[in-house]
Structure 1
Amino acid sequence: MIRLFLSVDMVGSTEFKARFAAQGNQGWLEIFRAFFSNFPLMLAGQVGFEFIDDECTPSIDVWKAMGDEIIFAAEPQSPDEAVSILRALLRAMALYEAKYFDRLPLRLKGTAWIAAFGEQNIELDIAELAAGDGASHIDFIGPDVDLGFRLSKFSRPSSLVVSLDLLEQLLDAGNVGTLAFHLVGREELKGVMFGRPYPVIWASDADCGFDFLPWEVEACPLMAAAMASGPTDSQRLRDTIDDMRHYLRKMHGVDRAPLGFGSPDARDPR
Protein backbone atom coordinates (compact mmCIF):
# COMPACT_ATOMS: atom_id res chain seq x y z
CA MET A 1 0.00 0.00 0.00
CA ILE A 2 1.27 3.46 -0.95
CA ARG A 3 0.36 6.42 1.23
CA LEU A 4 0.75 10.08 0.40
CA PHE A 5 1.78 12.32 3.29
CA LEU A 6 1.17 16.05 3.30
CA SER A 7 2.69 18.42 5.85
CA VAL A 8 1.52 22.01 6.32
CA ASP A 9 3.57 24.13 8.69
CA MET A 10 3.47 27.73 9.86
CA VAL A 11 6.39 30.00 8.96
CA GLY A 12 7.25 32.73 11.45
CA SER A 13 5.31 31.16 14.30
CA THR A 14 8.15 30.98 16.83
CA GLU A 15 8.94 34.68 16.63
CA PHE A 16 5.23 35.51 16.57
CA LYS A 17 4.54 33.62 19.79
CA ALA A 18 7.66 35.02 21.46
CA ARG A 19 6.45 38.55 20.76
CA PHE A 20 3.22 37.91 22.65
CA ALA A 21 5.00 36.04 25.43
CA ALA A 22 7.36 38.97 26.01
CA GLN A 23 4.30 41.10 26.71
CA GLY A 24 2.71 38.48 28.96
CA ASN A 25 -0.04 38.14 26.36
CA GLN A 26 -1.61 34.86 25.22
CA GLY A 27 -3.42 36.40 22.27
CA TRP A 28 -1.63 34.05 19.89
CA LEU A 29 -3.55 31.05 21.21
CA GLU A 30 -6.74 31.70 19.26
CA ILE A 31 -4.81 32.11 16.00
CA PHE A 32 -3.20 28.71 16.40
CA ARG A 33 -6.38 27.06 17.65
CA ALA A 34 -8.13 28.35 14.53
CA PHE A 35 -5.41 26.90 12.30
CA PHE A 36 -5.72 23.39 13.68
CA SER A 37 -9.52 23.59 13.53
CA ASN A 38 -10.08 25.43 10.26
CA PHE A 39 -7.31 24.39 7.91
CA PRO A 40 -8.35 20.71 7.71
CA LEU A 41 -11.89 21.87 6.88
CA MET A 42 -10.62 24.25 4.20
CA LEU A 43 -8.47 21.50 2.69
CA ALA A 44 -11.44 19.10 2.65
CA GLY A 45 -13.46 21.76 0.83
CA GLN A 46 -10.77 22.27 -1.81
CA VAL A 47 -10.40 18.52 -2.32
CA GLY A 48 -14.15 18.29 -2.80
CA PHE A 49 -14.01 21.10 -5.34
CA GLU A 50 -11.10 19.47 -7.19
CA PHE A 51 -12.97 16.16 -7.50
CA ILE A 52 -16.44 17.60 -8.01
CA ASP A 53 -16.89 15.80 -11.35
CA ASP A 54 -15.59 12.45 -10.08
CA GLU A 55 -17.69 9.64 -8.64
CA CYS A 56 -15.49 9.40 -5.53
CA THR A 57 -13.62 12.00 -3.50
CA PRO A 58 -10.41 10.75 -1.86
CA SER A 59 -10.19 10.90 1.91
CA ILE A 60 -7.51 13.19 3.35
CA ASP A 61 -7.13 12.37 7.03
CA VAL A 62 -5.22 14.17 9.75
CA TRP A 63 -2.46 11.84 10.88
CA LYS A 64 -0.94 13.99 13.61
CA ALA A 65 -0.16 17.51 14.78
CA MET A 66 3.39 18.41 15.73
CA GLY A 67 4.16 21.85 17.10
CA ASP A 68 2.76 24.27 14.50
CA GLU A 69 2.42 21.57 11.82
CA ILE A 70 -0.46 19.41 10.62
CA ILE A 71 0.34 16.18 8.79
CA PHE A 72 -2.25 14.51 6.59
CA ALA A 73 -2.32 11.04 5.05
CA ALA A 74 -4.11 9.92 1.90
CA GLU A 75 -4.17 6.91 -0.42
CA PRO A 76 -4.21 8.11 -4.04
CA GLN A 77 -5.27 5.47 -6.54
CA SER A 78 -3.39 6.99 -9.47
CA PRO A 79 -0.80 9.66 -10.35
CA ASP A 80 -3.62 11.86 -11.67
CA GLU A 81 -5.37 11.69 -8.32
CA ALA A 82 -2.15 12.62 -6.51
CA VAL A 83 -1.69 15.68 -8.75
CA SER A 84 -5.24 16.81 -7.99
CA ILE A 85 -4.68 16.40 -4.25
CA LEU A 86 -1.54 18.55 -4.39
CA ARG A 87 -3.37 21.23 -6.37
CA ALA A 88 -6.11 21.26 -3.74
CA LEU A 89 -3.50 21.59 -0.99
CA LEU A 90 -1.72 24.49 -2.68
CA ARG A 91 -5.03 26.25 -3.18
CA ALA A 92 -6.07 25.68 0.44
CA MET A 93 -2.75 27.10 1.67
CA ALA A 94 -3.16 30.24 -0.44
CA LEU A 95 -6.79 30.74 0.57
CA TYR A 96 -6.04 30.22 4.25
CA GLU A 97 -3.24 32.79 4.20
CA ALA A 98 -5.45 35.31 2.43
CA LYS A 99 -8.30 34.86 4.91
CA TYR A 100 -6.51 34.44 8.23
CA PHE A 101 -2.96 35.79 7.85
CA ASP A 102 -3.53 38.90 5.75
CA ARG A 103 -2.36 41.24 8.54
CA LEU A 104 -0.16 38.77 10.39
CA PRO A 105 3.54 37.91 9.86
CA LEU A 106 2.68 34.26 9.31
CA ARG A 107 2.77 32.05 6.23
CA LEU A 108 2.26 28.40 5.33
CA LYS A 109 4.72 26.00 3.74
CA GLY A 110 4.20 22.41 2.62
CA THR A 111 5.92 19.07 2.10
CA ALA A 112 4.60 16.08 0.13
CA TRP A 113 6.04 12.57 -0.03
CA ILE A 114 5.01 8.94 -0.36
CA ALA A 115 5.82 5.74 1.50
CA ALA A 116 5.12 2.09 0.72
CA PHE A 117 3.99 -0.04 3.64
CA GLY A 118 5.02 -3.66 3.91
CA GLU A 119 8.49 -4.68 5.03
CA GLN A 120 10.43 -1.40 5.05
CA ASN A 121 7.73 0.86 6.53
CA ILE A 122 5.09 -0.31 8.97
CA GLU A 123 1.82 0.74 10.57
CA LEU A 124 1.44 0.49 14.34
CA ASP A 125 -1.85 0.38 16.20
CA ILE A 126 -1.02 2.07 19.52
CA ALA A 127 -3.70 0.96 21.97
CA GLU A 128 -2.61 3.39 24.68
CA LEU A 129 -3.42 6.34 22.39
CA ALA A 130 -6.76 5.03 21.17
CA ALA A 131 -9.80 7.26 21.50
CA GLY A 132 -12.34 6.66 24.23
CA ASP A 133 -14.94 5.57 21.67
CA GLY A 134 -12.82 2.60 20.72
CA ALA A 135 -11.32 4.10 17.54
CA SER A 136 -7.75 2.91 17.03
CA HIS A 137 -4.69 5.16 16.83
CA ILE A 138 -2.47 4.27 13.87
CA ASP A 139 1.09 5.50 13.63
CA PHE A 140 3.45 5.17 10.66
CA ILE A 141 7.11 4.31 11.08
CA GLY A 142 9.94 3.72 8.63
CA PRO A 143 12.68 5.35 6.55
CA ASP A 144 10.32 6.54 3.81
CA VAL A 145 8.19 8.22 6.46
CA ASP A 146 11.28 9.84 8.01
CA LEU A 147 12.33 11.21 4.64
CA GLY A 148 9.49 13.71 4.62
CA PHE A 149 10.53 15.17 7.96
CA ARG A 150 14.10 15.56 6.71
CA LEU A 151 12.89 17.15 3.48
CA SER A 152 10.51 19.59 5.18
CA LYS A 153 13.51 21.63 6.34
CA PHE A 154 13.75 22.89 2.75
CA SER A 155 10.10 23.78 2.22
CA ARG A 156 9.20 27.43 1.80
CA PRO A 157 6.01 29.55 1.80
CA SER A 158 3.75 29.36 -1.24
CA SER A 159 5.13 26.00 -2.40
CA LEU A 160 5.43 22.29 -1.71
CA VAL A 161 8.74 20.47 -1.55
CA VAL A 162 8.22 17.00 -3.02
CA SER A 163 10.20 13.78 -2.72
CA LEU A 164 11.77 12.10 -5.76
CA ASP A 165 9.54 9.03 -5.38
CA LEU A 166 6.45 11.21 -5.49
CA LEU A 167 7.79 13.36 -8.32
CA GLU A 168 8.38 10.26 -10.44
CA GLN A 169 4.72 9.34 -10.12
CA LEU A 170 3.47 12.87 -10.74
CA LEU A 171 5.43 13.12 -13.99
CA ASP A 172 3.41 10.20 -15.38
CA ALA A 173 0.04 11.81 -14.61
CA GLY A 174 -2.18 12.95 -17.44
CA ASN A 175 -2.86 16.22 -15.60
CA VAL A 176 0.76 16.88 -14.61
CA GLY A 177 0.67 20.11 -16.62
CA THR A 178 -1.47 21.71 -13.91
CA LEU A 179 1.61 21.73 -11.67
CA ALA A 180 5.02 23.32 -12.24
CA PHE A 181 8.19 21.83 -10.76
CA HIS A 182 11.36 23.69 -9.87
CA LEU A 183 14.72 22.07 -9.13
CA VAL A 184 16.15 24.72 -6.80
CA GLY A 185 19.23 22.98 -5.41
CA ARG A 186 20.63 19.93 -3.65
CA GLU A 187 21.00 19.47 0.07
CA GLU A 188 22.30 16.67 2.27
CA LEU A 189 19.55 14.97 4.26
CA LYS A 190 20.61 13.04 7.35
CA GLY A 191 20.33 9.30 6.77
CA VAL A 192 19.16 9.66 3.16
CA MET A 193 20.93 8.50 -0.03
CA PHE A 194 24.11 7.61 1.89
CA GLY A 195 24.91 11.28 2.40
CA ARG A 196 24.71 12.33 -1.24
CA PRO A 197 22.96 15.71 -1.58
CA TYR A 198 19.28 15.20 -2.32
CA PRO A 199 17.55 17.24 -5.07
CA VAL A 200 15.26 19.91 -3.61
CA ILE A 201 12.23 20.19 -5.89
CA TRP A 202 9.32 22.53 -5.31
CA ALA A 203 5.86 22.23 -6.83
CA SER A 204 3.59 25.17 -7.54
CA ASP A 205 0.24 25.62 -9.25
CA ALA A 206 1.08 26.07 -12.94
CA ASP A 207 -1.51 28.82 -13.31
CA CYS A 208 -0.59 30.82 -10.22
CA GLY A 209 3.12 30.23 -9.71
CA PHE A 210 4.77 31.26 -6.46
CA ASP A 211 3.55 34.03 -4.19
CA PHE A 212 6.89 34.87 -2.61
CA LEU A 213 7.24 38.19 -0.82
CA PRO A 214 10.12 40.45 -1.98
CA TRP A 215 11.99 40.25 1.32
CA GLU A 216 11.64 36.46 1.35
CA VAL A 217 13.37 36.21 -2.03
CA GLU A 218 16.12 38.56 -0.87
CA ALA A 219 16.82 36.42 2.19
CA CYS A 220 16.52 32.91 0.70
CA PRO A 221 18.87 31.62 -2.05
CA LEU A 222 16.45 28.79 -2.88
CA MET A 223 13.60 31.22 -3.50
CA ALA A 224 15.89 33.42 -5.58
CA ALA A 225 16.92 30.39 -7.64
CA ALA A 226 13.29 29.41 -8.25
CA MET A 227 12.38 32.90 -9.41
CA ALA A 228 15.45 33.26 -11.62
CA SER A 229 15.29 29.91 -13.40
CA GLY A 230 11.57 29.24 -13.72
CA PRO A 231 10.08 25.72 -13.98
CA THR A 232 12.41 22.79 -14.70
CA ASP A 233 11.54 20.78 -17.82
CA SER A 234 10.29 17.23 -17.34
CA GLN A 235 13.27 15.59 -19.06
CA ARG A 236 15.72 17.20 -16.67
CA LEU A 237 13.59 16.06 -13.75
CA ARG A 238 13.52 12.50 -15.09
CA ASP A 239 17.29 12.63 -15.62
CA THR A 240 17.69 13.74 -12.00
CA ILE A 241 15.68 10.74 -10.80
CA ASP A 242 17.63 8.36 -13.05
CA ASP A 243 20.92 9.83 -11.82
CA MET A 244 20.07 9.15 -8.18
CA ARG A 245 18.93 5.60 -9.02
CA HIS A 246 22.18 5.01 -10.98
CA TYR A 247 24.21 6.31 -8.04
CA LEU A 248 22.56 3.87 -5.63
CA ARG A 249 23.15 0.94 -7.98
CA LYS A 250 26.73 1.85 -9.00
CA MET A 251 28.13 3.04 -5.67
CA HIS A 252 26.14 0.97 -3.19
CA GLY A 253 24.86 -2.05 -5.14
CA VAL A 254 21.26 -1.11 -4.48
CA ASP A 255 18.43 -1.37 -7.00
CA ARG A 256 15.80 1.19 -6.13
CA ALA A 257 12.54 0.27 -7.85
CA PRO A 258 9.94 2.96 -8.59
CA LEU A 259 7.45 3.43 -5.74
CA GLY A 260 4.30 3.41 -7.84
CA PHE A 261 0.77 3.59 -6.56
CA GLY A 262 -0.47 0.06 -6.11
CA SER A 263 3.03 -1.45 -6.29
CA PRO A 264 4.63 -3.65 -3.62
CA ASP A 265 7.04 -2.16 -1.11
CA ALA A 266 10.29 -1.01 -2.69
CA ARG A 267 13.08 -0.85 -0.20
CA ASP A 268 14.89 2.43 0.29
CA PRO A 269 18.32 1.88 1.87
CA ARG A 270 19.75 4.51 4.15
Structure 2
Amino acid sequence: MIRLFLSIDMVGSTQFKARFTGQGSQGWLETFRNFFCNFPLMLAGQVGFEFIDSDSTPAIDVWKAMGDEVIFVAEPASAEEAVSILRALLRTMTLYERKYFERLPLRLKGTAWLVEFGEQNIELDIAELSAGDGARHIDYIGPDIDLGFRLSKFARASSLVVSLDLMEQLLGAPNRDLLSLHLLGEEELKGVMFGRPYPVVWAADAETGFDFLPWEIKSCPLVAAAAAAPPTEIMRLQAAIADMRLYLRKMHGIDRMPLTMGARP
Protein backbone atom coordinates (compact mmCIF):
# COMPACT_ATOMS: atom_id res chain seq x y z
CA MET A 1 0.00 0.00 0.00
CA ILE A 2 1.29 3.45 -0.93
CA ARG A 3 0.24 6.56 0.93
CA LEU A 4 0.80 10.23 0.18
CA PHE A 5 1.76 12.41 3.12
CA LEU A 6 1.24 16.17 3.07
CA SER A 7 2.70 18.49 5.68
CA ILE A 8 1.65 22.14 5.95
CA ASP A 9 3.54 24.37 8.33
CA MET A 10 3.39 28.03 9.30
CA VAL A 11 6.34 30.25 8.46
CA GLY A 12 7.07 33.00 10.98
CA SER A 13 4.96 31.54 13.77
CA THR A 14 7.67 31.65 16.46
CA GLN A 15 8.29 35.36 15.96
CA PHE A 16 4.56 35.99 15.73
CA LYS A 17 3.89 34.38 19.12
CA ALA A 18 6.84 36.25 20.63
CA ARG A 19 5.03 39.53 19.90
CA PHE A 20 2.61 38.68 22.68
CA THR A 21 5.13 37.92 25.41
CA GLY A 22 3.54 38.60 28.76
CA GLN A 23 0.01 38.34 27.37
CA GLY A 24 -0.31 34.56 27.52
CA SER A 25 -1.86 32.87 24.50
CA GLN A 26 -4.72 35.29 24.01
CA GLY A 27 -2.95 37.33 21.36
CA TRP A 28 -2.21 34.42 19.03
CA LEU A 29 -4.54 31.60 20.06
CA GLU A 30 -7.34 32.42 17.61
CA THR A 31 -4.94 32.50 14.65
CA PHE A 32 -3.73 28.98 15.40
CA ARG A 33 -7.19 27.67 16.22
CA ASN A 34 -8.37 28.92 12.84
CA PHE A 35 -5.50 27.18 11.10
CA PHE A 36 -6.03 23.75 12.66
CA CYS A 37 -9.81 23.94 12.24
CA ASN A 38 -10.26 25.74 8.94
CA PHE A 39 -7.32 24.67 6.80
CA PRO A 40 -8.41 20.99 6.70
CA LEU A 41 -11.97 22.08 5.80
CA MET A 42 -10.71 24.37 3.07
CA LEU A 43 -8.45 21.63 1.69
CA ALA A 44 -11.35 19.17 1.59
CA GLY A 45 -13.36 21.71 -0.37
CA GLN A 46 -10.58 22.31 -2.89
CA VAL A 47 -10.01 18.58 -3.35
CA GLY A 48 -13.73 18.18 -4.00
CA PHE A 49 -13.56 20.98 -6.54
CA GLU A 50 -10.52 19.42 -8.22
CA PHE A 51 -12.31 16.07 -8.59
CA ILE A 52 -15.77 17.44 -9.36
CA ASP A 53 -15.89 15.62 -12.71
CA SER A 54 -14.47 12.36 -11.37
CA ASP A 55 -16.40 9.27 -10.33
CA SER A 56 -14.73 9.28 -6.90
CA THR A 57 -12.85 11.72 -4.68
CA PRO A 58 -9.81 10.59 -2.66
CA ALA A 59 -10.07 11.12 1.08
CA ILE A 60 -7.56 13.50 2.64
CA ASP A 61 -7.40 12.74 6.36
CA VAL A 62 -5.58 14.54 9.14
CA TRP A 63 -2.91 12.25 10.54
CA LYS A 64 -1.64 14.52 13.28
CA ALA A 65 -1.10 18.12 14.31
CA MET A 66 2.09 19.08 16.07
CA GLY A 67 3.38 22.50 16.93
CA ASP A 68 2.49 24.80 14.04
CA GLU A 69 2.12 21.95 11.53
CA VAL A 70 -0.72 19.76 10.32
CA ILE A 71 -0.01 16.53 8.45
CA PHE A 72 -2.47 14.85 6.10
CA VAL A 73 -2.47 11.38 4.61
CA ALA A 74 -4.16 10.19 1.42
CA GLU A 75 -4.16 7.11 -0.81
CA PRO A 76 -4.15 8.29 -4.43
CA ALA A 77 -5.10 5.55 -6.85
CA SER A 78 -2.80 6.86 -9.58
CA ALA A 79 -0.15 9.41 -10.40
CA GLU A 80 -2.86 11.48 -12.05
CA GLU A 81 -4.73 11.66 -8.75
CA ALA A 82 -1.53 12.64 -6.95
CA VAL A 83 -1.05 15.59 -9.33
CA SER A 84 -4.62 16.73 -8.70
CA ILE A 85 -4.24 16.44 -4.93
CA LEU A 86 -1.07 18.53 -4.95
CA ARG A 87 -2.72 21.12 -7.15
CA ALA A 88 -5.63 21.35 -4.71
CA LEU A 89 -3.18 21.67 -1.82
CA LEU A 90 -1.24 24.48 -3.48
CA ARG A 91 -4.46 26.33 -4.24
CA THR A 92 -5.62 25.90 -0.64
CA MET A 93 -2.35 27.36 0.67
CA THR A 94 -2.81 30.45 -1.49
CA LEU A 95 -6.47 30.92 -0.64
CA TYR A 96 -5.88 30.42 3.06
CA GLU A 97 -3.14 33.03 3.18
CA ARG A 98 -5.32 35.54 1.37
CA LYS A 99 -8.22 35.02 3.74
CA TYR A 100 -6.50 34.63 7.11
CA PHE A 101 -2.97 36.04 6.81
CA GLU A 102 -3.52 39.21 4.79
CA ARG A 103 -2.45 41.46 7.69
CA LEU A 104 -0.34 38.94 9.59
CA PRO A 105 3.40 38.17 9.20
CA LEU A 106 2.63 34.50 8.56
CA ARG A 107 2.93 32.29 5.52
CA LEU A 108 2.51 28.61 4.67
CA LYS A 109 5.00 26.07 3.34
CA GLY A 110 4.47 22.43 2.41
CA THR A 111 6.15 19.05 2.02
CA ALA A 112 4.77 16.07 0.09
CA TRP A 113 6.16 12.56 -0.04
CA LEU A 114 5.15 8.98 -0.80
CA VAL A 115 5.56 6.02 1.54
CA GLU A 116 5.20 2.35 0.63
CA PHE A 117 4.11 0.23 3.58
CA GLY A 118 5.38 -3.30 4.08
CA GLU A 119 8.72 -4.38 5.48
CA GLN A 120 10.42 -0.97 5.71
CA ASN A 121 7.51 1.19 6.84
CA ILE A 122 4.69 0.06 9.09
CA GLU A 123 1.30 1.16 10.33
CA LEU A 124 0.64 0.90 14.06
CA ASP A 125 -2.76 0.70 15.69
CA ILE A 126 -2.21 2.15 19.18
CA ALA A 127 -5.10 0.85 21.26
CA GLU A 128 -4.21 2.95 24.31
CA LEU A 129 -4.76 6.15 22.34
CA SER A 130 -7.95 5.08 20.56
CA ALA A 131 -11.05 7.18 21.09
CA GLY A 132 -13.81 6.01 23.38
CA ASP A 133 -16.20 5.65 20.45
CA GLY A 134 -14.07 2.89 19.00
CA ALA A 135 -12.18 5.04 16.47
CA ARG A 136 -8.66 3.69 15.90
CA HIS A 137 -5.52 5.72 16.56
CA ILE A 138 -3.12 5.01 13.71
CA ASP A 139 0.54 5.94 13.69
CA TYR A 140 3.11 5.45 10.95
CA ILE A 141 6.75 4.53 11.49
CA GLY A 142 9.65 3.91 9.12
CA PRO A 143 12.60 5.49 7.30
CA ASP A 144 10.43 6.86 4.51
CA ILE A 145 8.19 8.56 7.08
CA ASP A 146 11.30 10.20 8.51
CA LEU A 147 12.37 11.31 5.04
CA GLY A 148 9.47 13.72 4.79
CA PHE A 149 10.32 15.40 8.09
CA ARG A 150 13.95 15.74 7.03
CA LEU A 151 12.95 17.12 3.65
CA SER A 152 10.61 19.72 5.18
CA LYS A 153 13.68 21.63 6.32
CA PHE A 154 14.05 22.83 2.72
CA ALA A 155 10.48 24.03 2.22
CA ARG A 156 9.93 27.77 2.12
CA ALA A 157 6.95 30.10 2.08
CA SER A 158 4.76 29.52 -0.99
CA SER A 159 6.66 26.34 -1.84
CA LEU A 160 5.89 22.62 -1.79
CA VAL A 161 8.99 20.43 -1.58
CA VAL A 162 8.48 16.90 -2.96
CA SER A 163 10.38 13.64 -2.53
CA LEU A 164 12.10 11.84 -5.41
CA ASP A 165 9.62 8.94 -5.31
CA LEU A 166 6.74 11.38 -5.60
CA MET A 167 8.46 13.39 -8.31
CA GLU A 168 8.93 10.23 -10.36
CA GLN A 169 5.21 9.55 -10.16
CA LEU A 170 4.35 13.13 -11.12
CA LEU A 171 6.59 12.95 -14.19
CA GLY A 172 4.69 9.90 -15.43
CA ALA A 173 1.22 11.35 -14.89
CA PRO A 174 -0.89 12.25 -17.95
CA ASN A 175 -1.77 15.58 -16.30
CA ARG A 176 1.80 16.39 -15.26
CA ASP A 177 1.67 19.72 -17.11
CA LEU A 178 -0.62 21.05 -14.36
CA LEU A 179 2.43 21.30 -12.11
CA SER A 180 5.84 22.85 -12.64
CA LEU A 181 8.84 21.20 -10.97
CA HIS A 182 12.01 23.04 -10.01
CA LEU A 183 15.27 21.28 -9.09
CA LEU A 184 17.10 23.76 -6.84
CA GLY A 185 20.19 21.80 -5.87
CA GLU A 186 21.11 19.06 -3.44
CA GLU A 187 21.30 19.04 0.35
CA GLU A 188 22.38 16.42 2.86
CA LEU A 189 19.50 15.00 4.91
CA LYS A 190 20.36 13.38 8.23
CA GLY A 191 19.90 9.62 8.03
CA VAL A 192 18.83 9.69 4.36
CA MET A 193 20.68 8.13 1.40
CA PHE A 194 23.73 7.29 3.54
CA GLY A 195 24.71 10.94 3.72
CA ARG A 196 24.66 11.57 -0.01
CA PRO A 197 23.10 14.98 -0.82
CA TYR A 198 19.43 14.64 -1.75
CA PRO A 199 17.85 16.64 -4.62
CA VAL A 200 15.64 19.51 -3.45
CA VAL A 201 12.64 19.80 -5.76
CA TRP A 202 9.78 22.28 -5.40
CA ALA A 203 6.41 21.94 -7.08
CA ALA A 204 4.17 24.84 -8.06
CA ASP A 205 0.89 25.23 -9.88
CA ALA A 206 1.93 25.55 -13.52
CA GLU A 207 -0.68 28.24 -14.12
CA THR A 208 0.04 30.53 -11.16
CA GLY A 209 3.64 29.72 -10.25
CA PHE A 210 5.18 30.77 -6.95
CA ASP A 211 3.95 33.66 -4.85
CA PHE A 212 7.13 34.91 -3.22
CA LEU A 213 7.36 38.26 -1.49
CA PRO A 214 10.21 40.60 -2.53
CA TRP A 215 12.16 40.25 0.72
CA GLU A 216 11.87 36.46 0.60
CA ILE A 217 13.63 36.44 -2.77
CA LYS A 218 16.42 38.67 -1.46
CA SER A 219 17.01 36.79 1.77
CA CYS A 220 16.93 33.12 0.69
CA PRO A 221 19.10 31.57 -2.06
CA LEU A 222 16.59 28.75 -2.65
CA VAL A 223 13.74 31.21 -3.15
CA ALA A 224 15.89 33.39 -5.39
CA ALA A 225 16.80 30.37 -7.54
CA ALA A 226 13.16 29.30 -7.85
CA ALA A 227 12.04 32.81 -8.74
CA ALA A 228 14.71 33.29 -11.39
CA ALA A 229 14.68 29.96 -13.21
CA PRO A 230 12.04 28.30 -15.41
CA PRO A 231 10.76 24.82 -14.55
CA THR A 232 13.45 22.16 -14.77
CA GLU A 233 13.50 20.05 -17.91
CA ILE A 234 12.01 16.57 -17.56
CA MET A 235 15.22 14.89 -18.72
CA ARG A 236 17.20 16.59 -15.97
CA LEU A 237 14.69 15.51 -13.34
CA GLN A 238 14.77 11.95 -14.64
CA ALA A 239 18.57 12.05 -14.54
CA ALA A 240 18.47 13.00 -10.85
CA ILE A 241 16.30 9.97 -10.14
CA ALA A 242 18.56 7.66 -12.17
CA ASP A 243 21.66 9.02 -10.43
CA MET A 244 20.32 8.29 -6.95
CA ARG A 245 19.16 4.82 -7.99
CA LEU A 246 22.59 4.04 -9.46
CA TYR A 247 24.32 5.28 -6.30
CA LEU A 248 22.22 3.05 -4.04
CA ARG A 249 22.81 0.00 -6.23
CA LYS A 250 26.53 0.55 -6.86
CA MET A 251 27.63 1.76 -3.44
CA HIS A 252 25.20 0.00 -1.11
CA GLY A 253 23.75 -2.95 -3.05
CA ILE A 254 20.22 -1.60 -2.78
CA ASP A 255 17.75 -1.77 -5.64
CA ARG A 256 15.31 1.09 -5.14
CA MET A 257 12.54 0.24 -7.57
CA PRO A 258 9.87 2.72 -8.72
CA LEU A 259 6.74 2.69 -6.61
CA THR A 260 3.58 1.27 -8.17
CA MET A 261 0.38 3.08 -7.35
CA GLY A 262 -2.79 1.00 -7.58
CA ALA A 263 -6.52 1.56 -7.49
CA ARG A 264 -8.26 1.97 -4.17
CA PRO A 265 -10.47 -0.94 -3.07
TM range (shorter): over 0.9
1:22 Cα deviation from its structure 2 partner: 4.5
CA deviation profile, 1:234-266 (whole Å, cap 9, x unmatched): 110001100110111111111111122139xxx
Give me the identity figure in percent.
76
What letter matches 1:194 in structure 2? F
The reply on whether 1:101 has 2:104 as its aligned counterpart is no
**Matched ranges for 1:1-270 at <5 A:** 1-24=1-24, 26-262=26-262
What letter matches 1:199 in structure 2? P
Query: How many Å separate the matches in 2 of 1:24 and 1:172?
Result: 50
Q: Which runs of 5+ in 1 are unaligned?
A: 264-270
Q: Secondary structure at the match of 1:148?
A: helix
1:229 Cα deviation from its structure 2 partner: 1.7
Cα distance change of structure 1 residues 24 and 131 upon mapping to structure 2, 3 Å threshold: closer
How many residues align? The count is 263
1:267: which partner in 2?
none
1:266: which partner in 2?
none
Query: How many Å separate the matches in 1 of 2:150 and 2:34?
Result: 27
Query: How many Å separate the matches in 1 of 2:66 and 2:176?
Result: 30
Q: Secondary structure at the match of 1:21?
A: coil
What letter matches 1:132 in structure 2? G
Query: How many Å separate the matches in 1 of 2:192 and 2:144?
Result: 9
What letter matches 1:128 in structure 2? E
Query: How many Å separate the matches in 2 of 1:262 and 1:121?
Result: 18
CA deviation profile, 1:21-64 (whole Å, cap 9, x unmatched): 24556210000001000000000000000000001010000000
Query: How many Å separate the matches in 2 of 1:52 and 1:156?
Result: 30
Query: How many Å separate the matches in 1 of 2:25 and 2:36?
Result: 20
Cα distance change of structure 1 residues 26 and 56 upon mapping to structure 2, 3 Å threshold: same
Q: Secondary structure at the match of 1:241?
A: helix
Query: How many Å separate the matches in 1 of 2:120 and 2:64?
Result: 21
Q: Provide the alpha-carbon RMSD of the alignment.
A: 1.1
What letter matches 2:148 in structure 1? G
What letter matches 2:169 in structure 1? Q
CA deviation profile, 1:216-248 (whole Å, cap 9, x unmatched): 111100011111222101110001100110111
Q: Secondary structure at the match of 1:207?
A: coil
Query: How many Å separate the matches in 1 of 2:97 and 2:217?
Result: 18
1:158 Cα deviation from its structure 2 partner: 1.1
What letter matches 1:259 in structure 2? L
Q: Secondary structure at the match of 1:20?
A: coil
What letter matches 1:239 in structure 2? A
The TM-score with structure 2 as length reference comes to 0.97
What letter matches 1:133 in structure 2? D
